[in-house]
């Protein structure tokens, strides 16, 4: 268990070697963690993602800290097992976008991430949930799930974020806007949108899009790219990446502890890059739900 200002020195390492950088990183991570003073009770390389939940569940019961190596989808899929536990969730960002690591300020290189695990601080953060399924960072409706569902695995693995962008551009040609309804418990807000982001963290697709979101705010944010123009959606991504003052122009935001989301037509949601349920659904937040290994300062 972590005390108020120190992380545990004992941990179990579990790396998803099916993630983009996982296969190359496992042996290096094991050696460098030991060299940094982290005692590894166990270290497991997992090449079948379906076995990850079992591995994580068992590790949480055995160690004061579990280090998970993988992309945003891997991290989000395994985080449920840390709920109600004193075990610290630590991460090695080995995916394509690594949005959750960016939100926490964790370096994306292996040495920097290991330095956080060895010398960082425990930090309590919120978890967001869709229909009770918890996730770490960001979910999306619109073009993002379409890209996640259809992007060729080879393109994603070879080109990373560039592959996503290329496929998103291709997919946008046949994409149409949708009617979005957000019920905040006081009123139902209806609008046309090309994308809706359900956010616990600031980054989506590796770009800081939801600047008002915070992992310890106790609220969830729904950010809609308003209108019917796919060109405006692309402009939103570009201006956000460049931090241009016009990046906020097409955006409408709603926030609260529980929001009901509906669309017409019905749409599937992408949760940290992995496909989730269809609309309608409820988005909720669990304040201070888990403890993570975070950078000092």
What tens digit of pLDDT does each residue of 99-111 get? 999 999 999 999 9
CA-closest candidate to residue 67, choices 103, 105, 22, 99: 22
Region for 256 from its dihedrals, namely left if φ exceeds 0, alpha if ψ lies in -120 to 50, beta otherwise: left
Higher pLDDT pick, 79 / 162? 79
What value does the mean pLDDT take over residues 153-175?
Answer: 60
How far apart, in Å, are the Cα atoms of 129 and each of 59, 77, 169, 213, 259? 23, 12, 29, 15, 11
Tokens of 264: 């017409």
- The pLDDT, as a whole number, for residue 141 is 94
Mean pLDDT of the chain: 88
First to last CA, the chain: 21
What is the pLDDT averaged over residues 183-212?
A: 92
Question: By mean pLDDT, which of 159-173, 188-202, 215-229 is the weakest?
Answer: 159-173
Name the one residue in this structure whose structure tokens are 């040609």: 173
Give the model's confidence band at 21: pLDDT under 50 very low, under 70 low, under 90 confident, else very high.
low
Comparing CA positions, the residue from 276, 262, 269 lying closest to residue 183 is: 262
Domains, the chain, ordered by start: 10-126+290-294 (3.40.50.10330), 134-289 (2.60.200.40)
Q: Is 205 left (phi over 0), alpha (psi -120 to 50) or beta?
A: left
Which 3 state secondary structure label does DSSP give 256? strand
Say yes or no to pLDDT of 31 above 90: yes
Mean pLDDT of 216-242: 88
């Amino acid at each position: 268990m972590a005390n108020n200002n120190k992380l545990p020195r004992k941990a179990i390492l579990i790396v998803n070697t099916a993630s983009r950088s996982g296969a190359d990183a496992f042996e290096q991570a094991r050696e460098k963690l030991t060299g940094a003073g982290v005692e590894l009770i166990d270290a497991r390389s997992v090449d079948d993602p379906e076995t990850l939940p079992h591995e994580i569940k068992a590790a949480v019961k055995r160690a004061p800290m579990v280090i998970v190596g993988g992309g945003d989808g891997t991290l989000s899929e395994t985080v449920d097992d840390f709920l109600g536990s004193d075990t610290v969730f630590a991460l090695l960002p080995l995916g394509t976008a690594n949005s959750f690591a960016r939100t926490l300020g964790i370096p994306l290189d292996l040495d920097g991430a290991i330095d956080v695990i060895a010398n960082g601080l425990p930090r309590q953060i919120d978890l967001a949930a869709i229909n009770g399924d918890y996730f770490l960072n960001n979910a999306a409706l619109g073009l993002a799930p379409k890209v996640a569902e259809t992007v060729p695995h080879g393109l994603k693995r070879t080109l990373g974020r560039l592959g996503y962008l290329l496929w998103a551009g291709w997919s946008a040609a046949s994409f149409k806007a949708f009617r979005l309804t957000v019920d905040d418990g006081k009123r139902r807000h209806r609008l046309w949108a090309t994308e809706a982001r359900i956010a616990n963290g600031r980054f989506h697709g590796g770009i800081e899009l939801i600047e008002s979101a915070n992992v310890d705010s106790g609220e969830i944010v729904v950010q809609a790219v308003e209108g019917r123009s796919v060109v405006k959606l692309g402009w939103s991504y570009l201006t956000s990446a460049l931090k241009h003052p016009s990046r906020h122009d097409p955006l409408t935001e709603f926030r609260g502890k529980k929001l009901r989301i509906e669309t017409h037509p019905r749409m599937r949601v992408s949760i940290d890059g992995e496909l989730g349920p269809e609309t309608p659904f409820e988005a909720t937040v669990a304040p201070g739900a888990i403890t993570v290994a975070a950078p000092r300062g």
